[in-house]
Amino acid sequence: HGCPSRGRPLLRWYCGGGGAGGHHVCDVRIGTNDVASLPPPSEALPRIPTVTIAPGVEMPLINLGGVHSHPSNYSAWLQLGGRGLDTAMMYGDDVQVQVGDAVAASGLPREELFLTSKVPCCPAESFTSWCVWYDKEYKDLDAYTRSEIDARLLGVARVDLLLLHWPCATMEETVATYRSLERFALDGKASAIGISNFNASAIDALFAAGLTVPPAVNQVGFSIGGHSESRLGRDLDTLRKCREKGIAFSAYSPLGGLSGVDVLHHPRVLKVAAAHNRSAAQVALRWVTQQGVVAVSASSNPAHLASDLGSFSFNLTGAEMKALAEI
């Protein structure tokens, strides 16, 4: 499930969210992951805004993800001022350990960091190779046990946010799995729980079951040019449903890797970027976060990480937001 090489020495594929099956997809940016390119920490970097997802739980408006084939530079992210890390059991044990090691090595107080992970549950159709792997490794374990294993791999006693990665094969199984996440939260092992890749109708069905701990977040693919696909909640109807239910909306692949549009080279995006003296990637991220949507980007390139964290240093006009939404 890796990202393809394009045969150019400075071309890297940075996985910035979900692929066709709701997992990470490749957003392309040119650069290097040379540690020597790491900019020094800067007082000038803007403070990362947060959104309240549950009582007493503040989530950074931008977080760093990554997968087995292309893990991100988690340590550089933390050094540059990033505080949110996004991962999942499906991304591989090695990724979980890398994220946990970066947290431990950072020297930062645990309460300053925000750690999101996801518990696997696959739909009836195994639409990713991860689901095949999951069926072999974890299907016989209940979701609570999977969550405990995940926390151990991360080296933490508690995760800040634990998501159900996909709806399961049936709504009955989905509800039963979500009940395990509720118990995990009530036992103090997750500050908040949520869902991923749920569309508006799946959210209604979940709520109809009666919930003890409602989902705090729904993480789906969402970007400029990529907000009209309803199957996995990548549409404005799902955004509206989340707001109706008090669920924070979170976007993987915020640079448009799922959209079918070359967002980073689109003339309208480039025009807005030039007007603000910012990069196309910063415009794409700001279009997401300015709506109060939590972004999950990814890169191993420290310069790109610093750029992503700097995307809060400007605001798009109402006219620009509308023009970008029409792509």
Residue-wise pLDDT tens digits, 39-64: 554 455 558 999 999 999 999 999 99
pLDDT of residue 8: 24
Tokens of 118: 């996801």
Using CB atoms within 10 Å of the CB of residue 232, give its burial: 0 to 12 exposed, 13 to 18 middle, 19+ buried: buried
More confident residue, 110 or 11: 110
pLDDT in tens, 119-172: 988 776 656 676 777 667 777 788 999 999 999 999 999 999 999 999 998 999
> Which of these ranges, 50-54, 64-68, 80-84, has the smallest mean pLDDT?
64-68
Please state the rounded mean pLDDT for residues 282-298. 98
- Catalytic annotation present for 144: no
More confident residue, 186 or 21: 186
- Please tell me the distance from the alpha carbon of residue 220 to that of residue 238, in angstroms, as a whole number: 9
Please state the rounded mean pLDDT for residues 262-272. 98
Active site residue: 91, 138, 144, 178, which one?
Answer: 91
- Please tell me the distance from the alpha carbon of residue 136 to that of residue 90, in angstroms, as a whole number: 12
Please state the rounded mean pLDDT for residues 172-196. 97
Q: Tell whether the torsion through CA atoms of 322, 224, 299 and 10 is positive or negative.
A: negative
- Give how far Cα 225 sits from Cα of 134, 235, 319, 323, Å: 31, 11, 16, 11
CA neighbours within 13 Å on the CB side: how many for 264? 15
pLDDT of residue 134: 67
pLDDT of residue 258: 86
pLDDT of residue 70: 81
